[in-house]
C-alpha cells in the first residue's frame, strides 16, 4: 500500500534503496550508473547475472540517453530539433522517422488536452531565465504568445515534413523527451535480457519487473519541505513522472510583500506559470505518456486534470495543490493506495 515517510532527503523521484550485499567477482548483482545528460541527472540500476554484461547494459542506457540528447536538444545548434526551429517557419523541413513520430504524438496529446500540452509553448518559454531570475515584460510576452498554438504546426505525413504557420514559432520536446528516453532505455534493457531495472531521467522514471521479489518503491517529494516526501509508491512494470513548481524557478517579490513564483511549467494560453498546483505525479504504462500527462494536468489543475485522466485507461495520478492537499485518482483509491499526509486518515 502507499505510505508516507520522512526517512531521508530525496531527489524529486528516487528509488528508496535497501542495502545489497557486495558483488563477488564474476557473480550476479546490482549494477548502478549515473551521468548528467539532457540537463538532468540520469540514473540506471539493474540486476545482472554477470557483472560484465550488466556493466555493458548500463553503458548502453547512457549511450541511448546521449543519442537522444544529440538529436532533440534545443541547446545544440546541430541537433535535428534546432534544424527544425531554424527552418520550419520558412519552408517545410524534412524530419527523421523518429522525430516525425514524436511530433505526431505531441499533436495527439495537444488535441487530447485541448492545448494544455503544446510543444509550441517554446516561443514563450525561451524568454524566461530561471538562473538569472529574469522574465519577459508584458509587452514582450504578448508578442511571443501570438506565436504559440499547436493547430498552426503542420505535419505532412506524405513528405514527412514539419512547417510552422506563425512568425516566431518554435518547438521544444522537453515536455516528454525524457519520458521517451526512459522508454527507449527499458526497451534496450529488455533486448539485452535484463529483467529487473530502474531508469530515471530527472523526475521521469520507469521500472522493469520488480526488485527481485519485492516491488520497487519510488518516493514523491514534498513540494514545500526539502528533504521530505509525501508518499511512497510500490511499483512494478510502470512508468512514473512528476512535474513540480520547485524544479526550475525563481520567486519574484511584489510591492505589497507577496511573492510570485515563475517556474518552467508554462500554460500555453497565458505564457505564465500556473498557480493552482505545486506537484503532479502520473503513473502510466509508458514514460512518454506519463510525462506528457504530468505537464498537461499541471496546466489544467486538479478538477479539469482529473476529468482528462478519467478518459484515459491505465493512468493514475497524485496531485498536490498549493495548500498541501493531496488528491488521487480512483484507481489508486480502489487499490488501497490513497496517499495521506502524516496525521491524516488514509
Interval 281-322: pLDDT, tens: 999 999 999 999 999 999 999 999 999 999 999 999 999 999
Number of domains in the chain: 1
Output the domain CATH number for residue 160.
1.10.3980.10
Side-chain-side CA neighbours of 343 within 13 Å: the count stands at 2
pLDDT at 231: 87
168 contacts: CB under 8 Å, gap ≥ 6? 89, 123, 143, 144, 146, 147
| Residue pointed to by grid coordinates 488501497 | 336
Contact 320, 223 (CB under 8 A): yes
Give domain status of residue 23, yes or no: no
Rounded CA gap, 346 and 88, in Å? 51
Spatial distance between the Cα atoms of 73 and 334, rounded to a whole number of angstroms: 40
Asked whether 68 and 177 are in contact (CB, 8 A), the reply is yes
Beta-bridged to residue 263, according to DSSP, are: 249
Helix (H) or strand (E) holding 187, with range, is helix 177-191
- Which pLDDT value is given to residue 13? 43
Q: Decide if 119 contacts 172 (C-beta within 8 A).
A: yes
Q: Is residue 160 part of a domain?
A: yes
pTM above 0.75, yes or no: yes
Q: Dihedral angle at the C-alpha atoms of 296, 301, 305, 307, nearest 10 degrees?
A: -150
The reply to whether 304 falls in a domain is no
Q: Residue 33: which H helix or E strand, with range?
A: strand 29-37
Supply the range of the domain harboring residue 108. 80-175
What pLDDT is recorded for position 301? 96
Question: 239 and 284 in contact (C-beta within 8 Å)?
Answer: yes
Is residue 183 one of the residues assigned to a domain? Answer: no
Low-confidence ranges of the chain (pLDDT < 50): 1-15, 17-19, 21-25, 336-346
pLDDT at residue 3 in the model: 29
Q: Phi then psi for 128, rounded to 5 degrees?
A: -95, 135
199 vs 108: CA distance, rounded Å = 26
Q: Residue 89 domain-assigned?
A: yes
Write down the pLDDT at residue 1. Answer: 26
Is the residue at 148 inside a domain?
yes
Examine residue 157 and state whether it is found in any structural domain, yes or no. Answer: yes
Please list, in sequence order, all residues whose beta carbon lies within 8 angstroms of the beta carbon of residue 171, skipping any fewer than 6 positions away. Answer: 81, 84, 85, 103, 106, 119, 120, 122, 153
Within-domain flag for 169? yes
Task: Give 311's contacts (C-beta < 8 A, 6+ positions apart).
Answer: 112
Amino acid at each position: 500500500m502507499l505510505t508516507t515517510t520522512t526517512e531521508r532527503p530525496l531527489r524529486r523521484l528516487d528509488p528508496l534503496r535497501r542495502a545489497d550485499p557486495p558483488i563477488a567477482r564474476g557473480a550476479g548483482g546490482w549494477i548502478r550508473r549515473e551521468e548528467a545528460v539532457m540537463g538532468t541527472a540520469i540514473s540506471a540500476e539493474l540486476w545482472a547475472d554477470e557483472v560484465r554484461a550488466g556493466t555493458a547494459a548500463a553503458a548502453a542506457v547512457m549511450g541511448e540517453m546521449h543519442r537522444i540528447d544529440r538529436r532533440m536538444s534545443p541547446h545544440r545548434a546541430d541537433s535535428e530539433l534546432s534544424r527544425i526551429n531554424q527552418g520550419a517557419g520558412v519552408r517545410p523541413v524534412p524530419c527523421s522517422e523518429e522525430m516525425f513520430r514524436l511530433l505526431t504524438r505531441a499533436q495527439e496529446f495537444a488535441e487530447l488536452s485541448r492545448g494544455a500540452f503544446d510543444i509550441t509553448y517554446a516561443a514563450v518559454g525561451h524568454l524566461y531565465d530561471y538562473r538569472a531570475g529574469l522574465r519577459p515584460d508584458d509587452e514582450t510576452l504578448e508578442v511571443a504568445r501570438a506565436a504559440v498554438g499547436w493547430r498552426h504546426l503542420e505535419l505532412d505525413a506524405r513528405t514527412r515534413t514539419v512547417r510552422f504557420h506563425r512568425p516566431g514559432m518554435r518547438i521544444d520536446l522537453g515536455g516528454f523527451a525524457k519520458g521517451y528516453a526512459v522508454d527507449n532505455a527499458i526497451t534496450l534493457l529488455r533486448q539485452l535480457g535484463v529483467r529487473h531495472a530502474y531508469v530515471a531521467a530527472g523526475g521521469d522514471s520507469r521500472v522493469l519487473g520488480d526488485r527481485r521479489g519485492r516491488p520497487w518503491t519510488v518516493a514523491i517529494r514534498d513540494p514545500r519541505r526539502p528533504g521530505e516526501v509525501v508518499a511512497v509508491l510500490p511499483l512494478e512494470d510502470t512508468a512514473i513522472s512528476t512535474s513540480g513548481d520547485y524544479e526550475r524557478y525563481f520567486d519574484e517579490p511584489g510591492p505589497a510583500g507577496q511573492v510570485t513564483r515563475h517556474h518552467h511549467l508554462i500554460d500555453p494560453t497565458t505564457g505564465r506559470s500556473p498557480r493552482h498546483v505545486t506537484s503532479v505525479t502520473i503513473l502510466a504504462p509508458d514514460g512518454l505518456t506519463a510525462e506528457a500527462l504530468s505537464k498537461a494536468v499541471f496546466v489544467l489543475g486538479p478538477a479539469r486534470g482529473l476529468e482528462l485522466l478519467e478518459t484515459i485507461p491505465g493512468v493514475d495520478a497524485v496531485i498536490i495543490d498549493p495548500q498541501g492537499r493531496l488528491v488521487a485518482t480512483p484507481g489508486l483509491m480502489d487499490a488501497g493506495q490513497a496517499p495521506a499526509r502524516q496525521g491524516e486518515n488514509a
